[in-house]
Amino acid sequence: MMTAAMQEDAPPAAAKQLPERYDGLAKVTGKAKYAAEFRVPDVPAKDMTYAWMVQSTIANGSIVSIDTAAADHASGVLAIITPFNAPKLPQPKAQPPATRHVSLLQDTTVSYNGQPIAVVVARTLEEARHAAALLKIKYAQEPAKLDFNALLSTARPPKRPGREPSDTSRGDIKGSLAQAAVVVDETYTTPIQNHNPMEPHATIAWWDGDTVNLYDATQYISGVKQTIAKTFDLPLDSVRVRCPYTGGGFGSKGSAWSHVALAVMAARVVKRPVKLALDRTQMFGPVGARPRTVQHLKLCADSQGKLLGIQHDVIIHTSVMEDFLEPSAYQTRMLYDSTANATSHRMVEVNYGVATFQRAPGEATGTVALETALDELAHKLKMDPVELRMANYAKKDPGSGKPWTSKHLDLCYTQAAKRIGWSKRNPMPGQLREGSKLIGYGMATATYGANRSPAQAAVIVHPDGRATVTCGTVDLGTGSYTIMAQYAAAGLGIDPSLVEVKLGDSELPRSPVSGGSQTAASIGPAIADAAMQAKLKVISLAIGDARSPLSGFNAQDVEITDGKLHGKKAGAASESIATLLARNGSQTIEAKGSAEPAQDATAFSAHSWGAVFAEVEVDAFTHMVKVRRIAATYDIGTLINAETGNNQLVGGIVWGVGIALYEATHIDTTYGRTVNENLAEYHVPVNADIGVIDVTVLNIPDTKFNPMGARGIGEIGITGAAAAVGNAIFNATGKRVRDFPITPDKLMA
């Protein structure tokens, strides 16, 4: 039996690894092109035009008029598109992957400050931006709903369901509270958080007759294709979307926002290619954000720490234009075993831009509250926080009663606790000091649902023995290029350095949105299927070729290793793929593959797991917090690629530190504008803010979930991390802050 330590160091089962990231050289040398950097094929650079998106300056009301006289005569202006002259569209609302209310200049209604209300197209970006500033806009302003806290009493249930019911209940919560020896009854709040990928949103659009082409910064090329086809009433085959590289998305690029269709509209109006790239400040409002949450938690336990009941009630903000549910109580339904459990989600309508998916939507904010409350319960019980979690360890899904596909969270606790030096933790807060520094330790559980969707792929084997793998997925920096090469190489029996990867084109085999931590789990089996089909064709060619040393063999007795076909028995004859194909007319071998979730997928509950431990220091005089170390161990099934996997987990933890200490979007309650809509004032962690991050994975395959044994890891890293840091701050100072982020002023209060 393999020990935990051996599992931690075991190689991935999927394939031999590339010596470096497939896309690494292209990115560091500047050869990788992002959406805004492309030249339109067969179009001179001088014929490119540039659009600037004009935004409203009121939060609620309507546009009375837009005086374009001065802008019409400005240098280089080609078109000014407003609600008063915009082409009428058959379907102004986009659909996949969620219903997005986008502003496409089809009416004069204004629902939030920053809403797109016009587009100026000019020969240069500078000319477009200058002309936009010349527009004279008159509004009929109406009172706006802007103060979330003042509107909490108006909270209502969601109008449309999420992936699970908004409310759930099992057992007797009131009875559990009455029987409990210890109760935690607290409220935790998290602010609006904005996606700030290195690459802002951008689209280049051009028409070729009735066909429209786009380069778009997206996480879902097939979704953009469907959205544009529906919006402009086009056949799907009349839309092509390309995105070979996405410079981060984190959920914001999972939907086609207003600027995408506006670029297509503008290109049709001026009959030339149009580039519409958002400014950094335009990333606050028109392209979504994580909604604000107020989370009320009640935990009741007996004197031994056994949870008798958990109640988690969530209130979030939602736009007056569209409901978006941040399901912050979802993990509370399944993470710990308890006699009774109740969760609810309510919404407060405000005049903000539509909220959207942000890395680990729901679990990222939900674990902040739940894992902080667990720490408070442990403190009241005078119980070790790890022991409390183990006392309530769920051996099956408490919410559904289904067995897990795989779960080794207990090993995660053990390994991460050892690496952080958990035994040094003093359970009494404020007892460890190093001069003026207060030292504290905290921990939390990480979890995220394992998702998988249907996907397709194709593999081509070339006469020289090299191969190409294609899939219409996207690489947001997560490593899709690299793992695609690995999957194809493993299936074909060749070195991954011999595989060319093509992705990011809607004409390639379809894959799901690159979100929900599902890309590797979805496309991996499809690529494996395509590679297997191609491999069988190669073997069939060999055994049917009288000139091959494998002629007449049974297919099951032939294997391909390192690019050579050979009999499975020792000493059997062999030949290379290249030799075989050259002898047979230098032909290429092509095969298509597909994969879907297992037929019995609904019989199990599939999640990834992790344990996050943090060590912090807090200056006793300035109350500045420094995260010294984070040790985390994850149970994510098979680790497909150590480098890209580590990048994902470390990046998630860094973001968790951001949630704990820095990130917050502030909306002015008078005018409704984001007051810190830039990276100077929207604070995110930088290198100097991050200490040692020590990440390991168990690497235990979960073959009940998919044939590769791999679950996604893009989002689990952010979960639990903020609570671990917050719990460590409490251990260091004795001050419990429940309003995130935990800034020095809150520690001083």
Enumerate the domain spans of the chain. 9-31+453-596, 362-451+602-748
pLDDT reported for residue 573: 85
**Contact status, residue 57 vs residue 137, Cβ threshold 8 Å:** yes
> What are the residues whose beta carbons fall under 8 Å from the beta carbon of 594, sequence distance 6 or more?
454, 455, 456, 457, 509, 526, 529
Provide the 3-class DSSP secondary structure of residue 117.
strand
* Alpha carbons 326 and 292: distance in angstroms, whole number: 9
- Average pLDDT by consecutive 10-residue portion of the chain (749 residues)? 34 58 94 96 92 98 98 98 96 52 95 98 98 98 98 95 88 94 98 96 97 98 95 96 97 96 98 97 97 98 98 98 95 97 98 96 98 98 98 97 97 98 96 97 98 97 97 96 96 96 97 95 96 97 96 94 91 91 96 92 95 98 98 97 94 98 97 96 95 98 95 96 98 98 96
| Count of beta carbons in the 10 Å neighbourhood of residue 25 | 11
Q: Domain 362-451+602-748: state its class.
A: alpha beta
pLDDT reported for residue 600: 84
pLDDT reported for residue 432: 96
Per-position DSSP letters for 278-299, written without gaps between them: --GGGGSSTT--BPPEEEEEEE
| Per-residue CA distances from 138 to 77, 121, 141, 667 (Å) | 22, 21, 9, 23
Question: What architecture (CATH level 2) is domain 9-31+453-596?
Answer: 2-Layer Sandwich (3.30)
pLDDT reported for residue 91: 60
**Contact status, residue 389 vs residue 374, Cβ threshold 8 Å:** yes
Which ranges constitute the DSSP H helices of 189-247?
221-231
CB contact burial 201-232 (16+ within 10 A = b; e otherwise): bbbbbbbeeeebbbbbbbbbbbbbbbbbbbbb
Q: Which residues are known catalytic residues?
A: 715
- 493 residue type, one letter: G
pLDDT reported for residue 11: 34
**In the beta sheet, which residues pair with residue 62?**
109, 140
pLDDT reported for residue 487: 96
* Alpha carbons 361 and 251: distance in angstroms, whole number: 9
